[in-house]
Amino acid sequence: MSTDKTRRAAARRALALEEEALMAECEQEFFIAGGPGGQHRNVTASGVRLTHRPTELSVTATERRSQAQNRAEALSRLIEGLTELAREPKVRKATRPSAAAKRRRLEEKRRQATKKALRRRRED
């Protein structure tokens, strides 16, 4: 399994390619797509699975009865997935509560503590 940085770099490189070159990097698999769609869909291998080997990203398309339409849909999904994979995650900054927020939280805790203390006294 490759690291996130190498997968991200491979996704960026793949997005710069033409569609034919991108398809050449992919492993295409055709299968019978079950489900609604009638006899034609259930007997032809119209389902398409594309696996981009450098990034190990896999997408499928089975909605249409036509293999060509499913291949085009799978390619667009692959491009969407590569775009998401190529996105650099934002660096998260640790934040701290302000002095006023700390003061308010502690005041609320004191109020709750006195309220509970008063309940204990009544039960005795």
Residue pLDDT, tens place only, 82-117: 999 999 989 999 999 999 999 999 999 999 999 999
* 32 within domain boundaries: yes
Same domain, 100 and 42: no
Residue with tokens 């491979």: 10
Same domain, 43 and 101: no
pLDDT of residue 95: 93
3-class secondary structure, 54: coil
Same domain, 33 and 75: yes
**Can you list the residues of the chain whose pLDDT is less than 50?**
1
pTM of the model: 0.69
* 91 within domain boundaries: no
Q: Which domain holds residue 102?
A: 96-124
* 38 within domain boundaries: yes
